[in-house]
A and B are shown apart, each in its own frame.
Chain A
Amino acid sequence: MNGRIKELYKTQILTNAKDETYFAELPSATHVLEAYNPMCGDKYTLYLEIEGEEIRNASFQGYGCAISRASTSILIKNILGKTLTELPPLIDQFMEIVNENSDQSPESISDDKELLAFAGTREYPERKKCASLSWDEITTIL
């Protein structure tokens, strides 16, 4: 099979899609969000425990493709312990990595291998929403 598609599903994506570390309900959550893509039915519940400005704890549950599942897991990993004011630059960075119209190379945006793995969706605009699903949803708390 053409290597281009395998590039999209780099090891980081496949590994994170199977990672159970953050896959749980969070009874102490202060915010519960639903990231849902009606086009394909992918649905994640995002649990956030926010105290003051700080995201003290976070997790998710739900179902979707490898790309959306991995990107949700990586989102949770990245926002844990962050303050709300730290989120917009992080989200912007991720959105730029997956933006097929960006004039910046992914590597010039970030050196985080896990985030950069999603740059492959630039080649597959129909899969961009999979990568950005939960990242879009998280902006609703800002």
Chain B
Amino acid sequence: MKYGCRPTLDMLDVKKIKSQFPIFSQKPEKGAELVYLDNAATTQKPQVVIDAITNYYSGYNSNVGRGTYWPATQATQAFETTRNKVQHFINAKSRKEIIFTSGTTDAINKVVSAFLIPDLQVGDEVIVTEMEHHGNFIPWQQACLRKGATLKMIPLRESGDLDHDVFEDLLTSKTKLLAITAVSNALGVVNDLHRLTSKAHEVGGKVLIDAAQLVTHEKIDVQAIDCDFLTFSGHKLFGPTGIGVLYGKEELLEAMPPLSFGGGMVKKVTLDETTFADLPNKHEAGTSNISGVIGLGAAIDFVNGLGVENIHAHTRELTEYALERLREMDGVTVFGNPKERASLISLAVRNVHPHDVSSFLGERGIAIRAGHHCTQPLMDFLKVSGTCRISFGIYNTKQDVDRVIEGLVEVRDFFA
């Protein structure tokens, strides 16, 4: 049997890992057993993350950085320990460079308003790519429109890879910033961050990397990449929603005005003026999402326990297996053929709308994403209104791939 599922050691481990995610032991009333292939949208949560959040609320709920009683001490310690974990997770030079936000989008918007806009002049240039998620596109577009700056776009080659030749032509002395995704959430293209960053730096441009999809793909090293800003969300890393990270080089965060104003980010306030706290508190006004931060800390421990490289090795194997099977299927088109692909695949079933595909698969308990994936400029490039996206996580197996393939065959034949 060509596609028989041999119980390899890897798969046995995956079974054990999967058992740590309580959602997979749910027995839904209507739907079939869950095959979760929408990890690029959000990952499922392991029990350790859920427990960390519950333990905070039931065991030591308190605000952080203020109280002088034991739950406050414990909460502050858990909160600030997570900052250290994030620092090491992305290899930042200092814990001061880690700012908690509500997510990737929030972090990007804050860089736009506190870093880009104050100095943006008419005629300045910001470069993004055609593959950006709206979260790393609209904020820059709107800033440029407001300030009379120019938004330039790095186009894609047929394969889905960025056209580096055009990119280098786009760079000028007016380039203020390059905002780029590490991994396309719609095509799975992995970008060459080192090369892009160093080229932008050559003309004096700063670089922001949207690492939302990178966190489970490879070990991030902001010092090696030398990016100026990097953002990601907890919920794509097995952590809770509503928590994200803005990494920024210390000197930039230091020079920037506060990302927002309020309690907890000040040294001294008088009726006439305010002096701001040191990094990182300067950029974290108000009560943070404490349970989110603590949950993120547990998620990073979970990921470190498995090893990002092991997660990626597993999901890459599944992606390759899926690509092999999909390419053998009549009536299915896979979008993009990049040099390096993350663990996601965008596809179309001939003459069947993506939402019809996802509804049919959904009925089988198979969760995929259909639509434009918040990348409408990319959909224009592909000349489609949307695609079907399969994205893998650590708990997926080859049987999951087989089930989605069976589902796609049935959809194709039903609509034929």
Contact = CB atoms under 8 A, between A and B. Distances in A.
Interface of A: 1-2, 4-6, 8-9, 14, 39-43, 63-67, 69, 124, 126-127, 130
Given A40-B371, A43-B385, A4 B363 contact: yes
A65 B386 CA distance: 11
B379 interface: yes
A23 B353 CA distance: 17
Given A1-B364, A66-B415, A40 B386 contact: yes
25 contacts: A1-B360, A1-B363, A1-B364, A1-B410, A1-B414, A2-B32, A4-B363, A5-B359, A14-B415, A39-B371, A40-B354, A40-B355, A40-B370, A40-B385, A41-B371, A41-B385, A41-B386, A42-B355, A63-B385, A64-B353, A65-B355, A65-B356, A66-B415, A69-B353, A127-B359
Contacts of B360: 1, 5
B356 A41 contact: no
Interface residues of B, number: 22
Best-buried of A14, A40, A64, A130 by chain B (most CB within 10 Å): A40
Contact of A124 (B359, B364, B372, B385): B359
A133 B379 CA distance: 21
Contacts of B30: 4
Given A64-B353, A65-B353, A5 B363 contact: yes
Interface in B358-381: 359-360, 363-364, 370-372, 376, 379
Interface of B: 30, 32, 352-356, 359-360, 363-364, 370-372, 376, 379, 385-386, 407, 410, 414-415
Given A1-B414, A5-B359, 17 more contacts: A8-B359, A14-B415, A40-B371, A41-B372, A41-B379, A41-B386, A42-B353, A42-B355, A42-B385, A43-B385, A63-B385, A66-B356, A67-B355, A67-B356, A69-B353, A127-B355, A127-B359
Contacts of B355: 40, 42, 65, 67, 127, 130
Given A1-B360, A41-B385, A65-B356, A9 B371 contact: no
A136 B354 CA distance: 22
Q: Which of A65, A67, A69 gathers most chain B CB within 10 Å?
A: A65
Nearest to B410: A1
Contacts of B414: 1, 6, 9
A2 B356 contact: no
Contacts of A65: 353-356
Most buried by A among B352, B356, B415: B356
A118 to B, nearest CB: 14
A14 to B, nearest CB: 7
Contacts of A40: 354-355, 370-372, 385-386
A14 B354 CA distance: 15
A67 B379 CA distance: 21
B5 to A, nearest CB: 21
Interface centre among B363, B372, B386, B410 (most CB of A within 10 A): B363
Nearest to A123: B30
A2 B370 CA distance: 20
Contacts of B385: 40-43, 63-64
Nearest to B357: A65
Contact of A41 (B32, B352, B363, B376): B376
Contacts of A63: 385
Contacts of B32: 2
Given A41-B371, A42-B385, A63-B385, A2 B363 contact: yes
